[in-house]
Amino acid sequence: MNKALIIRRATEEDFDAWSRLYDGYASFYKVHMDDEIKNRLWNWVQDDHHVINCFLAVDTSEASVVGFAHVRAMPSPLRGAEVGFLDDLFVDPHFRGGGAAQALFDRLEQHAKEQGWPLIRWITADDNYRARNLYDKLSNKTMWNTYQMDIT
């Protein structure tokens, strides 16, 4: 890991930096993003009683937030336990390859142990090759495909 990187929880003062990154994340996945959505999520992140947690990768040499991960508990009925679910992970394109994603995953692993989660799951786009290359090194691809039923 880059010694100039630290991973920490998001604080109120991080909103602008997080918001810039979240816009980049939404753009990458071609999902509409607006202030109402971001403010709602940010309020969840700042609420100690909400299930969502936000960890930030901070490059201390540049004093800038360069990545984030949103993770939460998710019931696993077959296990009779909660597991972790990684909703979002994003690293500023200018800082990719510098260890931020690895450092975020290291912190997520620590968080999972603290929570007593036996695993963390996530999904990513099929064409997200760079991220999938890292995921293949860090984890096991399962046999499951993900589907979505849109309710209109």
Exposed / middle / buried, residue 46 (Cβ in 10 Å: 0-12, 13-18, 19+)? middle
| pLDDT at residue 151, as a whole number | 64
- For the stretch 31-51, pLDDT in tens is 999 999 999 999 999 999 999
Q: What are phi and psi of 106, to 5 degrees?
A: -60, -40
CATH of domain 5-138: 3.40.630.30
Q: Where are the domains positioned within the chain?
A: 5-138
CA dihedral defined by 33, 5, 128, 74, rounded to 10 degrees? Answer: -70
Q: How confident is the model at residue 121 (pLDDT cuts 50, 70, 90)?
A: very high
The whole-model pTM stands at: 0.90
| pLDDT at residue 2, as a whole number | 65
Range 85-91 average pLDDT: 96
Q: How confident is the model at residue 98 (pLDDT cuts 50, 70, 90)?
A: very high
